[in-house]
Chains A and B, each alone.
Chain A
């Protein structure tokens, strides 16, 4: 069971969280103006990286906030968690 650091509540056990898929995929402002390919890209295409992955989590059974996390998919180690709306942290800065 992972320990996930909620940006609001601090480190908490995984059972309080729900995974929310890849982060930083903004819903288009005006979906109806999008062509099929752009809409398909938004709706279905997701990265599946080996290594660092920006993903959404929700502290469902805690503060109930969605937030983003950088997790290494090969080790399950979290490099950073940050609030929705904040940019993906610069990795070099995180490691420093």
Chain B
């Protein structure tokens, strides 16, 4: 295989522009306009990969998106290595570096090919049958080995350095595919004046016409007709034309996902140039003009390099100026292969023979071939091939009466070009949930009943004659745009008989011959028959058992042949067997384009408070709480978290701490029925709460379980300032709106989220009042005027404030609400005023310890969606006199007050220094063996600096009746003994807040 296989003239390439590239380390020359596949073929290289399961040497089969064999890895360096790309769709650029896959050490010599010799022992369903026993071997042996051997290509390990873009688009008409049908459709639709989008997966519009240089349309060469049509579309500002853009997914309500490749074809993309863009297109009407895929013939050893689809060979010749070989055998059951034979013959290729399965092929193409003097054998089956890494002979046998075959005849050749006919591409139509119907004459499933506002045009609905395709496209485009179809165009195309063959070609090679149906997943007709013999009847089951059609090529070349084999074996007509479901993506898409811009800084919004900058400048360590960044602790010097938290806790208990509570959810509940709403919604009673007073509110869901909590202040008779947990703000607001809008629309009350309106500075500790006193204006801070659970409006540092006297620490405390823009200014003023008093900043970790010392729960930590208010010792909050509130009826169920419910208790370890694990289980006695009866679990556990020992909160079955009992927490080989105590560890009388 030496010398160039490039023709002297023709094709859409630029021969004068040499492009150098490397494949498996060897440097080759191609030309501008080549794909990797066409360039390799031009160099006489057919061997491009090894098959998935048997590691059989494989050459390129097709010329486009349907390619199952020539899957390569293209690399541009670390993080830019893309496995499993079809060499037929890789545009050549200077310096392109590609590698074959699934071989070791080299493509020509592959150790894994031993699988090929083992083939008799690797039948369909091999994995299901073989690795069932012994069970233990699965984890240790089978799975690691299978995982190492499985998969195709290698995912890059370095981060992807490229950028990916996203775009939402809307149009009245979307046309998918820019072949003759699609171009006609887009042109016709564009005359309706609406927005038209035309997307096409190839590097230039034209589709099948790109391989039809000799056809004339409307008096123009195909090239000129394409150019004229594209020019008119491009001149129309209402038309968007995208090339290198694959419509890969059809979603509900005419949402089409399109992957546009922006820079993969460039030798030197500009630094930072985006690689791909995801288009999410919402179309009023969709015209699918996706074309058709050629069907291979299923005959023994039909997978040798050098055996390819006849239409693909013609594309290589006419579009890329590349010869598939010097002496070819054409094996066909369809007229189209005659075109290939005729064109190759004219290009100087020796057509050894055309072997036609059909007994009496007729028609203009057959006649043309005869007129050229090409040897034609009718009623002739191809029953095998010979050769090592390239086909050397085709084996032909005459088909005699009653399916018998005549003696075989081997024809020397360097390429076999086959065609069983064309399979309309119904992938997108099927994804749209449209219903297909079987067309017996075409041996094809065709679009039948649409589920969306969509229509198919051209080859993808079984219309192949060029004039008819052009007319069909124009009619579809015009109908989609709601206008009359333009006059039909005439072409010089010679029509082929659209009928073809499907299923396996008869052969006399015995039961072990391997005739491939699905090249990419290495499924043979034998495997399909075996599946049927083993009892699989449903096409969906056969698919999963044999993996036919499950590769990334989505069975583009294999589905119909597989159905043919199944129909024969099941003795059932194809329409009774049905087709498996097509799923997106049509061709593989990168994870990068699906992630789009949502990576790095933009992966998720990072919410920060107005005081965040101060915390950063003062060395805070942050934690994520929903989307918020919250300061967790403020280490000094070399402090670790434990040391910092102990210091911060002691500072609050002995002097004062300052804490950023801005993330707390806040909802302003306003209206003359505000109190009535609060009464119905929260478990507490609200009508008697005075203006200027606060109450700890608890919210249950209708099923009686605690959903959220927070302090609620009454600002005015008709205005409540409701706080929620940080993570619960949106949930609570949604639930409020739900009850108001759908259950109690008669109430005059409205909710406004004010979470971000206010910055909230918590000042907690015995010195809090002293620090504040010099800063506030118009607020009397005395305990008489502003007792615990009261609020006042006034000014602080010249800024309006809602000042709450509340405490989540058990110390004298204030929460200063100020407008967010002024949050940091006020914080810094308070900070400065606190310096003489030992004011210490603290974070969420210390906040958690302080509240645990006081037995205050955190919703979501002590509660888990199955805790009632009573379970977490909050039954005091229930407004028992209220006739109703959300959750009340459910709480009346007997099981909600059963004595063995898990109840909040405190736990003290026998060894004071031992800190229990949060989430640890609690059991009743020592020495239990798993599985053991578990009676509870630890919900919060900390070392308490002020108490000089560990503390824990736990939910324990019947916990309140177990005071003083010793329970156990299994730990390692033994257990940790704990004593059950009340949940309030520090200042149980609450004296410290009332000062």
- List chain A positions with a Cβ less than 8 A from chain B: 1-3, 13, 18, 20, 26-27, 30-32, 34, 36, 39, 43, 56, 58, 60, 64-66, 75-76, 84-85
Q: Which residues of B contact A (CB under 8 A)?
A: 251-253, 255, 280, 282, 433, 451, 702-703, 734, 737-739, 741-743, 745, 883-884, 888-890, 892-893
Q: Are B280 and A43 in contact (CB under 8 A)?
A: no
Task: Determine which of A3, A65, A76 lies in contact with B741 in the assembled complex, contact meaning CB atoms within 8 Å.
Answer: A65
Residues of A within 8 A of B734 (CB): 18, 58, 60
Show 20 residue pairs from A and B whose CB-CB distance is below 8 angstroms, ordered by the A residue.
A1-B255, A2-B253, A3-B253, A3-B282, A30-B884, A31-B889, A32-B884, A32-B888, A32-B889, A32-B892, A34-B889, A43-B890, A58-B734, A58-B737, A64-B737, A66-B741, A76-B252, A76-B253, A84-B742, A85-B745
Complex CA–CA separation, A11 to B743 (angstroms): 26
Chain B contacts for A26, CB-based, 8 A: 743
Indicate if the CB atoms of A66 and B742 lie closer than 8 Å: yes
User: Could you say which of B703, B739, B892 has the most chain A C-beta atoms within 10 Å of its C-beta?
Assistant: B892
Inter-chain CA distance A85–B740, complex, in Å, is: 12
A27 contact set on B, CB distance < 8 A: 702, 739, 743
Q: Which residues of A contact B433 (CB under 8 A)?
A: 75
Contact of A39 among B738, B739, B890 (CB under 8 A): B890
The reply to whether A31 and B888 form a contact with Cβ atoms under 8 Å apart is yes
Nearest-neighbour CB distance to chain B for A16, whole angstroms, equals 13
**A1 lies within 8 A of B251 (CB):** yes
A56 in complex: contacting residue of B253, B739, B742, B893, CB < 8 Å: B742
Whether A66 and B252, one on each chain, are in contact in the complex, defined by CB atoms closer than 8 angstroms, is: no
- Do residues B252 and A2 form an inter-chain contact, with CB atoms below 8 A? yes
* 7 tightest Cβ-Cβ pairs between the two chains A and B: A31-B889, A3-B253, A66-B741, A76-B252, A27-B743, A1-B255, A84-B742
Nearest-CB distance from A19 to chain B (Å)?
Answer: 12
Cα A85 to Cα B743 in complex, Å, equals 9
Known contacts A66-B742, A84-B742, A84-B745; decide if A43 and B702 are in contact (CB<8 Å).
yes
Residues of chain A contacted by B889 (CB below 8 angstroms): 31-32, 34, 39
Q: State A30–B811 Cα separation when bound (angstroms).
A: 42
Q: Given contact pairs A30-B883, A31-B888, A43-B702, enumerate 11 new A-B contacts (beta carbons under 8 Å).
A: A1-B252, A2-B252, A20-B738, A27-B739, A27-B743, A32-B892, A39-B889, A58-B734, A75-B433, A76-B252, A84-B742
* B892 partner residues in chain A, CB cutoff 8 A: 32
Residues of A within 8 A of B451 (CB): 75
Set of chain A residues within 8 Å of B742, measured between Cβ atoms: 56, 66, 84
Which of B451, B739, B742 lies at the interface centre, i.e. has the most chain A CB atoms within 10 A of its CB? B742
Residues on B with C-beta less than 8 A from A76 are 252-253
CA gap between A20 and B433 in the complex, in Å? 26
A1-B255, A84-B741 in contact; A31/B884 too (CB < 8 A)?
yes
A85 CA to B741 CA, complexed, in Å? 9
| A36 proximity list for chain B (CB < 8 A) | 893
Q: How far is the CB of A14 from chain B (nearest CB, A)?
A: 8
Q: Given the complex, which residues of A lie within 8 Å of B739, measured CB to CB? A: 27
Q: Which residues of B contact A2 (CB under 8 A)?
A: 252-253
Q: In the complex, what residues of A have CB within 8 A of residue B252's CB? A: 1-2, 76
CB-nearest residue of chain B to A25: B742
Rounded to whole angstroms, the CA-CA distance of A43 and B745 in the bound complex is 20
Within the complex, what minimum Cβ distance (angstroms) separates A77 from chain B? 8
Chain B nearest Cβ from A6, distance in angstroms:
13
Shortest Cβ distance from A83 into B: residue = B741
CA distance A75 to B122 in the complex (A): 41
Q: Which residue on chain A has the smallest CB distance to residue B751?
A: A64
- Name the CB-closest residue of B to A33: B889
Interfacial chain B residues near A30, Cβ < 8 Å: 883-884
C-alpha spacing A64/B892, complex, angstroms: 33
**A56 contact set on B, CB distance < 8 A:** 742
**A32 contact from B280, B745, B883, Cβ within 8 A:** B883
Interchain CB contact (< 8 A) of B253 among A1, A20, A43, A64: A1
A20 (CB) vs chain B CBs: closest residue:
B738
User: In the docked arrangement, what's the CA distance between A22 and B451, Å?
Assistant: 25
Q: A18 contacts which chain B residues (CB < 8 A)?
A: 734
Complexed CA–CA distance, A66 and B736 (Å): 12
Which B-chain residue is minimally distant from A64 (CB atoms)?
A: B737
CA–CA, A76 to B252, complex, Å?
A: 7
- Residues of the A chain whose Cβ atoms lie less than 8 Å from the Cβ of B893: 36
Residues of B within 8 A of A60 (CB): 734
A1 and B888 CA atoms in complex are apart in Å by 39
A88 to B739: give the CA distance in the assembly, Å: 19
Tell me whether A43 and B255 are in contact in the complex, defined as CB-CB below 8 angstroms, given that A66-B738, A84-B741 are known contacts. no
| Bound Cα distance from A24 to B252, whole angstroms | 26
Bound-state CA distance A30–B253 (Å) is: 42
Q: How far is B646's CA from A7's CA once the two chains are assembled, in angstroms?
A: 56
In the bound complex, how far is the Cα of B737 from the Cα of A43, in angstroms?
A: 19
CA distance A32 to B888 in the complex (A): 7
Q: Is the CB of B737 within 8 A of A66?
A: yes
B993 to chain A, nearest CB (A): 35
| Complex alpha-carbon distance, A85 and B742, angstroms | 7
**A32: chain B residues within 8 A (beta carbon):** 883-884, 888-889, 892
User: Which residues of B sit under 8 angstroms from A58, Cβ to Cβ?
Assistant: 734, 737-738
Interface centre among A3, A26, A31, A34 (most CB of B within 10 A): A31
Closest partner residue, chain A, to B741 (CB atom)? A66
Shortest Cβ gap from B680 to chain A (Å):
10
Nearest chain A CB to B668's CB is how many angstroms away? Answer: 15
Closest B residue by C-beta to A13: B282
Q: Nearest residue in B to A18 (C-beta to C-beta)? A: B734
A76 to chain B, nearest CB (A): 5
Cβ-defined contact, B703 with A43, below 8 A:
yes
CB distance from B270 to the nearest CB of A (A): 32
In the bound complex, what is the Cα–Cα distance between A34 and B888 (angstroms)? 12
CA of A26 to CA of B255 in the docked complex: distance in angstroms? 35
Please state if A1 and B280 are interface contacts (CB–CB under 8 Å).
yes
Residues of the A chain whose Cβ atoms lie less than 8 Å from the Cβ of B280: 1
Contacts of A1 in B (CB 8 A): 251-253, 255, 280
A51 to chain B, nearest CB (A): 15
- Residue among A34, A43, A56, A60 with max Cβ neighbours from chain B (10 Å): A43
CB-based nearest B residue for A30 = B884
Whole-angstrom distance between the Cβ of A71 and the nearest chain B Cβ: 11
Q: Which residues of A contact B737 (CB under 8 A)?
A: 58, 64, 66
- Residue from the set B743, B745, B884 with the largest chain A CB neighbour count within 10 Å: B884
> Could you say which residues of chain B place their CB within 8 Å of the CB of A31?
884, 888-889
Q: How far is the CA of A36 from the CA of B884 in the complex (A)?
A: 16
Chain B nearest CB, measured from A25 CB (Å): 9
Bound complex: CA of A16 vs CA of B745, how far in Å? 23
Task: Give the chain A neighbours of B888 by CB distance below 8 A.
Answer: 31-32
Measured CB to CB, the closest approach of chain A to B895, in angstroms, equals 10
The docked-state distance in angstroms from the alpha carbon of A90 to that of B890 is 34
Q: How many angstroms between the C-alpha atoms of A30 and B680 in the bound complex?
A: 12
Give the docked Cα–Cα distance between A65 and B738 (Å).
9
Nearest-neighbour CB distance to chain B for A54, whole angstroms, equals 13
Return chain A residues, CB-CB under 8 Å to B255. Answer: 1
Residue of B nearest to A60 (CB): B734
Q: Which chain B residue has the least Cβ–Cβ distance from A84?
A: B742
Bound CA span A84–B893, Å: 31
Nearest-Cβ distance from residue A17 to partner chain B, whole angstroms:
12
